[in-house]
Chains A and B, each alone.
Chain A
């Protein structure tokens, strides 16, 4: 499991953890029912505060990605196909929005952007 924190990023650390964990779960790198490190263990490994990791886990739980069982720890939540698909779509939408914003700032046209997308899809074939 790979989690990398950037101290210089503007994004709060707990947010970075939430995002990265979400990705791992959505991509399938973390599977249903898999045990996650304890909040303290995670804090130690990442050299951050335990309150930060606690918050990250709380948020992940609120969004349905993980489940915490008292005395046992935290686990990746059972896959809810609809929910996950929805979330994946949202994630893709967010990333596209980012890309479009940047393109716009640079002055690219809609066509130029679509061309770029086409080229990228080529790599999957």
Chain B
């Protein structure tokens, strides 16, 4: 059983927004980046996985078990890192640990202390006195100290400086060395994912745009730059989003190989970043 996370046809209806038919799979040992613009439904999806909000319909399985029927077992094996600090600010790190640790069967005091040391955290420091980055590190330390097999992170690096974000990525790399752990990581800072992610799931306006291997994306998506004369009602269909300026156009396509053959020297094909993909997909033709 190596699907650590499986979501099938998930639906959640709100007044002004819904998640519709979201499906994705993550195998053990891999990192999945979960991207989408603000308000796309990333946090909602994660809350649905963690059963913090009720789904309208659909199935969510973790480690092959239903996330609601086996809520407790499943949560024993998940390390969760939030975007904002929801901890009890008045408590010290040590006290907060004393609140959390007893809930886990596999809590390892040694591991936790080792992380505190690595992260340079003082256990007698009050949580409210920690910087955003330190709070995040504390979250991570707690999430990694009970032999969790799946780490779920909801926008963990928002608001953190680039130096710090690199450090976190390094920590995550070290984590997945043993092939046993998976990481599910939602963010809109896609540069973090350009490195470590194995799979990318892109959600927009509550719907799945794609869930693919990152390498596959690099091979099929491309930025196409060409003269305006190349655009007509036919050729427009090849593109997901187009941006025009007075000297030409820039567009996103997911049919890279096909278009290279079609246009040859008439257009420039450039490597596309996840950010480009997000931008063009969300903006579409409205540029």
**A residues lining the B interface (CB < 8 Å):** 7-8, 10, 12-14, 38, 40-41, 43-44, 47-52, 55
CB distance from A37 to the nearest CB of B (A): 11
Q: In the complex, are the beta carbons of B177 and A41 less than 8 A apart?
A: yes
Q: Which residue of B lies closest to A39 (CB)?
A: B179
Task: List, in ascending order, chain A residues with CB within 8 A of B122's CB.
Answer: none
Q: In the complex, are the beta carbons of B30 and A50 less than 8 A apart?
A: yes
Q: In the complex, are the beta carbons of B177 and A44 less than 8 A apart?
A: yes
Task: List, in ascending order, chain A residues with CB within 8 A of B179's CB.
Answer: 40
**B residues lining the A interface (CB < 8 Å):** 29-31, 169, 173-174, 176-177, 179, 195-199, 213-215, 218-219, 271
**CA A40 to CA B31, docked complex, whole Å:** 12
Q: In the complex, are the beta carbons of B174 and A49 less than 8 A apart?
A: no
Task: List, in ascending order, chain A residues with CB within 8 A of B29's CB.
Answer: 50
Task: List, in ascending order, chain B residues with CB within 8 A of A7's CB.
Answer: 271
With beta carbons under 8 angstroms apart, the residue of B177, B213, B215 that contacts A40 is: B177
Q: A47-B195, A50-B176, A50-B198 are in contact. List 19 more A-B contacts (CB 8 A).
A: A8-B271, A12-B215, A12-B219, A13-B218, A14-B215, A47-B169, A47-B196, A48-B195, A49-B31, A49-B195, A49-B196, A49-B197, A49-B215, A50-B30, A51-B30, A51-B199, A51-B213, A51-B214, A52-B215
Q: In the complex, are the beta carbons of A12 and B173 less than 8 A apart?
A: no
CB distance from A14 to the nearest CB of B (A): 7
The winner among A38, A47, A49, A50 for most chain B CB atoms within 10 A is: A49
The winner among A8, A47, A50 for most chain B CB atoms within 10 A is: A50
Q: Which residue of B lies closest to A14 (CB)?
A: B215
Q: In the complex, are the beta carbons of A51 and B218 less than 8 A apart?
A: no
CB distance from B219 to the nearest CB of A (A): 7
**CA A14 to CA B215, docked complex, whole Å:** 9
With beta carbons under 8 angstroms apart, the residue of A38, A43, A52 that contacts B173 is: A43
CB distance from B169 to the nearest CB of A (A): 8
Q: In the complex, are the beta carbons of A51 and B215 less than 8 A apart?
A: yes
5 cross-chain CB contacts under 8 A: A12-B218, A13-B218, A44-B173, A44-B177, A51-B214
